[in-house]
Structure 1
Amino acid sequence: MILLSFDIEEFDMPFEYNKTISFEEQMRVSIDGTTTILDILKKHNIKATFFSTATFAINARKIMERIVTEGHEVASHSYYHSDFKTEHLLESKLKLEEITHTEVIGFRMPRMQPVDEKEIHKAGYIYNTSLNPTYLPGRYNNFSKPRTYFKQDGVWQIPASVSPIVRFPLFWLSFHNLPLWLYQWLCKITLKKDGYLNLYFHPWEFTDLDQKEKYNFPNYVSNNSGKLMGQRLDKLIVEMKKNNYSFSTFKELLLTF
């Protein structure tokens, strides 16, 4: 079972690299990227989970309607992408449910930062997928955490997938920088070991990020972005379907626990 998920948010990443970008441009980039993602998913008739900030949903109601209409799951990515208060857990859930008319049961913290599981439970979430159980220099060391799903403080924890033994992360940066055949092989051995695969991406990855004057991103961020990202995702899905792997939402995965 493959869990494809996408963090749909206001595209504020350029601020991390000392570049400014208007809110209108942030939304345009993310809406365009989400449209590309939905077209790819529709082409292959597969469902995914979209972790949306409330801010994105408020300002992209048509795309949220399409996500729901086409049978995908909507989960919370907090209220704002770069500002967090504990009360945003419940506030984002309620706002997303108001906009989508669906029950929101999942949460992912922006930038996969730590979050209080007791507060997640109090806000009414059933699962949290904010853990990357690996080591990323300068960000976090989660080698002590389980590789696969577990329950903590009443909430199911569904970590992002990492390879067995060495815990090589299979997140979006790996997808951009590894040869596709190697990434696919790592996915397959992880699926064989764990029985499921949890991969996450962002809509802004489907924009040409190799624009130093505009974004100032390092090559490991901008590599294989834009049209190349769409082509790689399409090839990944084709390869996995050829091997008879199924795709599902997080809600569907919970039914197997």
Structure 2
Amino acid sequence: MILLSFDTEEFDVPREHGVDFSLEEGMKVSVEGTNRILDVLKQNGVKATFFCTGNFAEHAPEVMQRIMDEGHEVACHGVDHWQPKETDFARSKEIVERVCGRQVYGYRQPRMFPVSDSEIARVGYKYNSSLNPAFIPGRYMHLTDPRTWFMKGEVMQIPASVTPLIRFPLFWLSLHNLSEGLYHWMVRRTLRHDGYFVTYFHPWEFYDLKEHPEFKMPFIIKNHSGRQMMQRLDNLIKMLKQHDTFGTFTEFVEKVKK
């Protein structure tokens, strides 16, 4: 199964580079990017999971409705992407469920920061996808963690996919900066090895970042952003459709637990 996901948050990356950037500006970028993502998914007839912050859900209810109307899963991604707090596990669930009018089963921490496993379980999530078990010094240095899904109590942990052995990350930055042929080859190899594939992107990657030097974005993030990234996502989906079916994270949890 292909588990395609999107961290649907208010765009705040310029703040990491010293730019004074408002929530209103961040929402404008992310709303446009999310609609572009939804257009690509609709054209290809595939489902995905959208991990949404409370901020995004409250400020873009019409986009949340479109996500649900087109058959995708909504999960939680904290409340304020810039300043995650331990209380966000419960507050995020309350906000997103209130906006969407349906129960939410999954969580992913902003920036894949560590989570409180006890709080994830207490709040009632069925799965947690807050781990990128890659070999990257810093935030993603998780050589001793499992590469594939595992259980912590009653909560399934679903890490982002990395290649076998060297644990090369197959997340958003890789598709931005590698040749598509190389990226697709590594994805197919990992899919064959693990039997499923997990990756994630962000709405703001599909915004035309190169047209906004005032954002002060690094080249590796701006590279192939906007409509070029829409095409790369489209190409990736078309390739993966030849090898497996797409599903939501909750569908994967239910399938594995049978």
For the superposition of Structure 1 and Structure 2, which TM-score range results when normalised by the shorter chain? over 0.9
**Aligned counterpart, 1:152:** 152
| Gaps in structure 1 of 5+ consecutive residues | none
Corresponding position of 1:161: 161
Structure 2: distance between partners of 1:125 and 1:89: 9
Question: How many Å separate the matches in 2 of 1:3 and 1:219?
Answer: 27
Give the drift of 1:137.
2.5
State how many pairs are aligned.
256
Distance (whole Å) between structure 2 residues aligned to residue 212 and residue 29 of structure 1: 11
| Structure 2 equivalent of residue 37 of structure 1 | 37
**Structure 1 residue 102, shift from structure 2 partner:** 1.5
Percent same amino acid at aligned positions?
Answer: 50
Describe the superposition over 1:155-187 as per-residue Cα deviations: whole angstroms up to 9, x where unpaired: 110000001111100010001011001100001
Task: Find out whether 1:173 has 2:154 as its counterpart.
Answer: no
Letter in 2 for 1:95: I
Equivalent position of 2:134 in the other structure:
134
Give the counterpart letter for 2:182 in structure 1: L
Runs of 4+ with deviation above 6 angstroms: none
Question: SS of the counterpart of 1:7?
Answer: strand
1:18-37 to 2 correspondences below 5 Å: 18-37=18-37
Any conservation in 1 of the 2:135–2:166 contact (CA below 8 Å)? no
- Which residue type is aligned with residue 3 of structure 1? L
Please give the secondary structure, in 2, of the residue aligned with 1:247: coil
Deviation at residue 212 of structure 1 after TM alignment: 6.5
Deviations 1:129-167 (A, max 9, x none): 000001323324101000000001331100000011111
Q: Which residue of 2 aligns with 1:254?
A: 253
1:109 corresponds to: 109
Whole-angstrom distance in 1 between the partners of 2:213 and 2:72: 36
TM-score (norm 1): 0.97
Structure 2 match to 1:200: 200
| Bigger Cα displacement from structure 2, 148-157 vs 106-115 | 148-157
Separation in 1 of the partners of 2:230 and 2:220? Answer: 17
* SS class of match (1:135): coil
Question: d(CA) in 1 for partners of 2:212 and 2:76?
Answer: 31
Contact 1:118 1:153 (C-alpha < 8 Å) held by counterparts: no
Matched residues in 1 for 2:70 and 2:25: separation?
Answer: 26
Name the SS of the counterpart of 2:68 in structure 1: helix
Q: Tell me which amino acid in the other structure corresponds to 1:107.
A: Y
Shift of 1:229: 0.2
- Give the AA of the match of 1:225: S
1:239 is aligned to: 239
* Number of the residue aligned with 1:73: 73
